[in-house]
C-alpha cells in the first residue's frame, strides 16, 4: 500500500470574477457543501474558505488523484449544486482556470491560517492584487 502526503494550495475564481458569493452566510453554505462533497469523493480537503469571487482550498492528494481531476470534481459538482438550489440570482459558474502550488508540510499551518483569514484579508486587498502577487511569487509570470 502506498503512503503519500502531497499538500496543494488551490485557488479558483467565479466566472469573470463576478461576486456571486456575496454574503458570509452564502459562502459558508457553499464551503460546507464542497467539504461534504469532498468526503463523498474521497478527496482530503484539509481547509476551505474564500471570498465573494474566489475559493481557496488546502488539499492533500491521494496516490491515485490528480490536481486537475480533483479540482474538476469540486468545481463541477459545487456549481451544479449552487444552480440546482438557486443560491444565486444569476447562473453560477466557476472560471475554467485555477492556481495550484505544492505546500511543504512545514508550512501547512501557515497556509491553513492564510486560507482561514480570507474575510479579513480581503477587506484590505482585492482578489486581483492577491492573484498578481501569487503569479509573481510562484514564478508563473513577471508582472
Q: Is the pLDDT of residue 95 over 80?
A: yes
CATH class entry, domain 6-137: alpha beta
Q: Is the pLDDT of residue 135 over 90?
A: no
Percent of the chain with pLDDT over 90: 78
Neighbours of 41 (CB within 10 A): 14
Q: Which pLDDT belongs to residue 142?
A: 57
Per-residue pLDDT tens digits for 98-110: 999 999 999 999 9
DSSP 41-68: TT-EEEEEEEETTEEEEEEEE-TT--HH
Closest Cα to residue 121, out of 60, 54, 74? 54
Give the single-character DSSP code of 91. P
Q: Domain coordinates of the chain in residue numbers?
A: 6-137
Q: pTM of this prediction? A: 0.90
Residue that the C-alpha cell 500500500 belongs to: 1
Q: Quote the CA–CA distance of 29 and 129 in Å, as a whole number.
A: 26
Radius of gyration of the chain (CA): 15
Amino acid at each position: 500500500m502506498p503512503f503519500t502526503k502531497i499538500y496543494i494550495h488551490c485557488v479558483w475564481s467565479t466566472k469573470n470574477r463576478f461576486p456571486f458569493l456575496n454574503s458570509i452566510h452564502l459562502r459558508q453554505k457553499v464551503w460546507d457543501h464542497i467539504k461534504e462533497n469532498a468526503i463523498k469523493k474521497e478527496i482530503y480537503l484539509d481547509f476551505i474558505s474564500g471570498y465573494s469571487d474566489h475559493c481557496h482550498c488546502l488539499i492533500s492528494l491521494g496516490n491515485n488523484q490528480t490536481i486537475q481531476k480533483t479540482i474538476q470534481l469540486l468545481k463541477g459538482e459545487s456549481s451544479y449544486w449552487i444552480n440546482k438550489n438557486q443560491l444565486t440570482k444569476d447562473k453560477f459558474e466557476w472560471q475554467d482556470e485555477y492556481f495550484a502550488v505544492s505546500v511543504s508540510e512545514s508550512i501547512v499551518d501557515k497556509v491553513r491560517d492564510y486560507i482561514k483569514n480570507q474575510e479579513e484579508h480581503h477587506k484590505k486587498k482585492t482578489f486581483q492584487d492577491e492573484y498578481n502577487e501569487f503569479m509573481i511569487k510562484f514564478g508563473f509570470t513577471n508582472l
